[in-house]
């Protein structure tokens, strides 16, 4: 079973619905250069299909890099697996990757959970939630929250991947219908903001109650949030010896405002004298 076979690239098929992105970026070109010079050092893993083709379980990036390197075949281990076993193996073989996007992790967890549930009775999980079996790192509850991201429209999911929208608000927003999410996206773009946790909870509640409207979303997202107000930060060391040390933060803030008001008044009087 551990014999390596060299399989023509045109006989290989990507795993249907696999969640991982295979992109022609700098890392891919570097891998292609390595394969061009040394070959594929670690064989891919495949399973045989009924039409003489082979489905890739582990090694989608190596196959693409081999194409770019001009290789005609790739070394592979052929495993006899059904669809569910292959899906679980595929997810587990890729979760360790660096720079894994949250969207990739979400769809990977969803694929593995569906495979586990499909296997059902064969895994002896009667007394244990199946989501607990998905990850050795994330709890079953966290797995479920991450999977919620797969219900976001692509535009919002991209914002999560790019850290434009935070994880917790995103999981709440995932309960909105696609139409409601597009209403929200429009309001976010118009107001150049993303929902806070409290706003996302409110949106989720109204969506579940079927009382969420486009006007409500527009009004809610137009409200200024505390973390979006402009503020000025002054390093503490610059105020040492100026503000009494025993002052509370509120007293220190009032002191600074009064000092600025006094200074502004002094400058105004000085300019008035210079104009006389």
The beta-strand segments (E) located in 59-147 are 73-79
**pLDDT tens per residue, the chain (276 residues)?**
568 999 999 999 999 888 888 888 898 999 999 999 999 999 999 999 888 899 999 999 999 999 999 999 999 999 999 999 999 999 988 877 767 899 999 999 999 998 888 877 444 444 456 777 888 788 888 999 999 999 999 999 999 999 999 999 999 999 999 999 999 999 999 999 999 999 999 999 999 999 999 999 999 999 866 545 445 667 666 777 788 877 777 777 778 888 888 887 776 666 656 655
Burial-class residue 221 by CB neighbours within 10 Å (0-12, 13-18, 19+): buried
The predicted pLDDT at position 125 comes to 43
Domains and CATH numbers, the chain: 1-80 (3.90.1530.10), 82-151 (no CATH), 152-225 (no CATH)
Question: pLDDT at position 95, please?
Answer: 78
Please tell me the distance from the alpha carbon of residue 192 to that of residue 170, in angstroms, as a whole number: 16
3-state helix, strand, coil in the chain (%, to 5): 60, 10, 35
Report d(CA 247, CA 264) in Å as an integer: 23
Cα 144 to Cα 174: distance, rounded to the nearest angstrom:
12
The conformational region for residue 70 under phi > 0 = left, psi -120 to 50 = alpha, else beta, is left
25's tokens: 């970026």
What are the backbone dihedrals phi and psi of residue 68, each rounded to the nearest 5 degrees, phi first? -65, -30
Q: What pTM did the predictor assign?
A: 0.71
According to the model, what pLDDT value does residue 119 have? 76
């Amino acid at each position: 079973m551990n014999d390596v076979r060299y399989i023509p690239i045109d006989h290989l098929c990507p795993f249907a619905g696999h969640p991982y992105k295979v992109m022609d970026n700098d890392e891919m070109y570097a891998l292609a250069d390595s394969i061009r010079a040394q070959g594929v050092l670690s064989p891919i893993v495949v399973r045989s299909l009924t039409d003489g083709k082979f489905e890739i379980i582990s090694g989608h990036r190596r196959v693409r890099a081999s194409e770019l390197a001009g290789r005609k075949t790739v070394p592979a281990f052929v495993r006899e697996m059904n669809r569910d076993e292959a899906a679980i193996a595929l997810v587990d073989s890729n979760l360790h990757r660096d720079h894994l996007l949250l969207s990739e992790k979400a769809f990977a967890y969803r694929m593995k959970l569906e495979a586990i549930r499909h296997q059902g009775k064969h895994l002896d999980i009667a007394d244990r939630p199946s989501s607990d079996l998905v990850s050795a790192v994330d709890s079953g509850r966290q797995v479920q929250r991450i999977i919620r991201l797969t219900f976001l429209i692509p535009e919002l999911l991209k914002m999560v991947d790019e850290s434009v929208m935070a994880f917790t608000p995103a999981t709440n927003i995932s309960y909105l219908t696609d139409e409601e999410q597009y209403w929200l996206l429009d309001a976010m773009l118009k107001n150049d903001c993303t929902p806070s946790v409290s706003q996302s909870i409110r949106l989720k509640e109204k969506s579940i109650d079927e009382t969420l409207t486009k006007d409500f979303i527009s009004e809610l997202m137009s409200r200024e949030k505390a973390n979006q107000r402009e503020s000025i930060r002054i390093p503490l060391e610059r105020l040492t010896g100026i503000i009494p040390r025993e002052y509370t933060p509120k007293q220190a803030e009032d002191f600074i405002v009064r000092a600025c008001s006094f200074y502004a008044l002094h400058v105004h009087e000085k300019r008035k004298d210079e104009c006389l």
